[in-house]
Structure 1
């Protein structure tokens, strides 16, 4: 039988027959795959092996099966996930943040920095903030519905931030820091066209505006704020190393002009036209908010380099940066552009389409927030890339739901079967096997002929004279037209 663990298959088949009166190949396959997930890619080879074992087990008596099956002792073990300590963390002094852009909903890839940042703040009795990075009303346009959707998803996950912060409320702060950097000779207003500047920087050369006087830069910056320039005509740049091996680090842009009469911001409308880019506002806010530890993906390493110039020029201590690996979700669509395109074309019904990996979709699909939480905690802060697939989520979801969900039964392909009882019978089935306090479902059958439903798949295995057990009801013998009651020793 190939190299499958046949003894394991026998045990599951025996357990299934003892519990239900007859072993089912489908049920055994599910148990085997759950125990040996590496068999998942070989299901076609596995099925005939299981079918042969199930046929063998169904031909044996209960007494014979006991040599294969001994009920395991169930131990309730509380699962605890302990995160490794943070570097340079001080009890009561840790502050972390999660910084989403409110131009779309959260998705599975958002959960790692969100959950880990929150859990570390709790672990050290510190503070956790959610900072909306809403400073690009043009290309990453924030929308009121997404501010609220993010808050709703955060609440659904059971996360309670100490405060929500909006970068669009802090533009004057960014202007003040910009003026300080100009005063210190670390920032300048560049009037080069984008393509022209790229040629300079890729060749390690300074653009003509880099050597402007402090007074000229202040004057040009004031003109930016006072709408003298149009969009694309002026940019405030940070002076860096023009020979840095990564050209994107060389004199990177800090503030630019956006035409907010055309691209109105949903919170401050067209009050401002000069907007910070990510690395500028992020560095300033991390310092001003007292952030001590930043947890984010490895793709942000280059941003750490860029932001280090702001901390050094301002004389600030930077936070500790911890970079985790990327999270791959093979079966989930995360791209905002692909999702919106799919919605427009009718491929998806909305942002909560169950085929997506957005939080609204996962919630609609029936995933418990605790299951998502547990999977993320298990991935931890590893710097290696991690894959999360829906089978992993589903397995964790079953563990969580199993403790909470009441049991209700149904028959997929019902077949009417008549049973004959010698007396009235009341059947009580717990709504949850481990919690009798939740109550029972009660069924009453009466002396004489009654009918029940069984699955067509099970019915074809019934042969005249067979002894079968109906859970919570009793043991029966298969007659010519009915199931004949023997006893209720169940």
Structure 2
């Protein structure tokens, strides 16, 4: 290697080492800079074995610099790199604003508080996406607290606990701590007792309708002036399960004449007759309402910032009464609007989706027609693509719309490079093929990666094409990867034309599969299942692999027919006359 080339390598290595160090606010990593270094300088590749040895001492010199000196040096050597980093920082700040008063806290701690009454629909993804992003930005922590203290109206689904944790992981994050509120009932009882003792709560046996009338007129119920001792005794009877549902509640004493009736002496505990589905919590009958349970837990678990829907503003106001009684400081609160998602006919509601599954109208939570995290995951949409789309919605108090096309665009950027191409013909029409043409077609596995080679598709004397691709009598089409044919008397005949027929004469390019060697496949889509035939090498794909069906779109391989595997390995199929069906889930165009 001559000295001039070596000096060039050192200069480029320094630029990329500085970029790596400044971007990640840490020491430069030699392994991490090799990819961009070689990618931007193809003439370095013949010397690939020597470059790490040259780059390592350069990176060491960069790592000896103070952080501010690294940034100054990068500005001198590669100002375009620094501009790129600053643009990324500005974009991040624009999408998600800084958390209020963040500098006043030793650690930013936020909570994701799902009700585990079912697996998550797509709207649920917004909370962990935003909280996880803030956690990374501030080097904070994220608590996942299951608010499962309603065994009746929002009854927990035992499978949902793990499903929700898996969804958080799929989105690219991990909870630093996991808490189940149903494990903490005794803690809530202790705080209720303390609240009663402080004069902040009383037991009430008014029928709901009676109390509502009194509350709306700004009048106190007769139980409001009970002694602490009497309320404490009745609360202990609630804890012991001596009342039935609807017979008694514990109320937080607020302002019975407050201008907002919703804040007047709100319910903290009530009786529930139906046992909790978790065995560990099945004995309890006296359960806290969400505003009490959540308010206590936010303080005890050290939550500094809460994000909640704009429709829950009254919850914060109710809980502030609680915090005043205990002398606690209320966390910072961000209220945001609802998110609406297009492209689905099914309403984005846990109860609605559950009902459709129970009625057999959906196959399950991962049915491609369901607006759920399980569904998009099975379709092959990456969690970080969904997270990126959710982050762009920001934290506005206005309702926001998320177009699935945005999610698809972000996912396409992440999967396109790795997705090999295949032909899939939907509802294929058989067309004979004659004339002089190749016996085997060899289209590329990926148009941007010649090194991956080609697929081999045996042609035979007939092909399947999609019905709408069959041309009019006498017209030509180009069978992709094969050649130009003319449609005549119900069949295709090779014409011998070269690719100029497409480039200069506008002949349409269509995809196809051979009749004899193709295999059946079922493509599951948001509009229902589609049956088709796929080229033989598809049988060599692996489950979970992302592919692109040319002229159709990207899909995730869900299962591969055994007969295809047998054929590809040269073995005899188990049943010569039976064809198993491969299954793929359509992701997006």
The TM-score bracket by the shorter chain reads 0.7 to 0.9
In 2, Cα distance between equivalents of 1:97 and 1:477 = 62
2:498 paired with 1:482:
no
2:347 paired with 1:336:
no
In 1, Cα distance between equivalents of 2:97 and 2:420 = 36
- Name the SS for the 1:304 alignment partner: helix
In 2, Cα distance between equivalents of 1:351 and 1:124 = 34
Deviations 1:424-458 (A, max 9, x none): 7876543233344544324578xxx9776655545
Deviations 1:169-192 (A, max 9, x none): 111211221122222211112222
Change (3 A) 1:362 1:443: closer
- Name the SS for the 1:197 alignment partner: helix
2:97 paired with 1:84:
yes
**Aligned pair count?**
404
The residue that corresponds to 1:72 in the other structure is none
In 2, Cα distance between equivalents of 1:310 and 1:366 = 45
2:223 paired with 1:209:
yes
Alignment of 1:210-289 (within 5 A): 210-259=224-273, 262-289=274-301
Deviations 1:216-270 (A, max 9, x none): 22222222223333332221111112122321210001112223xx424414243
The residue that corresponds to 1:302 in the other structure is 314
Q: How far off is 1:296 after superposition?
A: 1.7
Q: Is contact 2:252-2:266 (8 Å) kept?
A: yes
Alignment of 1:173-188 (within 5 A): 173-188=187-202
Alignment of 1:13-52 (within 5 A): none
Of residues 169, 172, 187, the one that matches 1:158 is 172
TM-score normalized with structure 2 length: 0.62
Change (3 A) 1:148 1:455: closer
2:149 paired with 1:138:
no
Deviations 1:103-138 (A, max 9, x none): 111111211112111111111110011100111112
Of residues 352, 370, 388, the one that matches 2:366 is 352
Change (3 A) 1:409 1:129: same
The residue that corresponds to 1:41 in the other structure is none
- Name the SS for the 1:485 alignment partner: coil
Alignment of 1:305-316 (within 5 A): 305-316=317-328
The residue that corresponds to 1:45 in the other structure is none
- Name the SS for the 2:424 alignment partner: coil
User: Unaligned regions of 5+ residues in structure 1, if any?
Assistant: 1-76
Of residues 379, 382, 394, the one that matches 2:396 is 382
Q: Is contact 2:275-2:285 (8 Å) kept?
A: no
Q: How far off is 1:165 after superposition?
A: 0.5
In 2, Cα distance between equivalents of 1:477 and 1:216 = 93
Q: Is contact 2:120-2:350 (8 Å) kept?
A: no
The residue that corresponds to 1:31 in the other structure is none
Alignment of 1:34-73 (within 5 A): none
Change (3 A) 1:275 1:479: closer
Q: Is contact 1:87-1:320 (8 Å) kept?
A: yes
The residue that corresponds to 1:420 in the other structure is 436
Q: Is contact 1:132-1:167 (8 Å) kept?
A: yes
The residue that corresponds to 2:125 in the other structure is 111
In 2, Cα distance between equivalents of 1:425 and 1:139 = 65
Of residues 335, 343, 357, the one that matches 1:323 is 335
In 2, Cα distance between equivalents of 1:456 and 1:283 = 61
Of residues 404, 407, 412, the one that matches 2:421 is 407
Structure with more contact order per residue of length (Cα contacts < 8 Å, sep ≥ 6)? 1
User: Unaligned regions of 5+ residues in structure 2, if any?
Assistant: 1-83, 504-589
In 2, Cα distance between equivalents of 1:308 and 1:249 = 10
Across the aligned residues of Structure 1 and Structure 2, the Cα RMSD in angstroms comes to 3.1
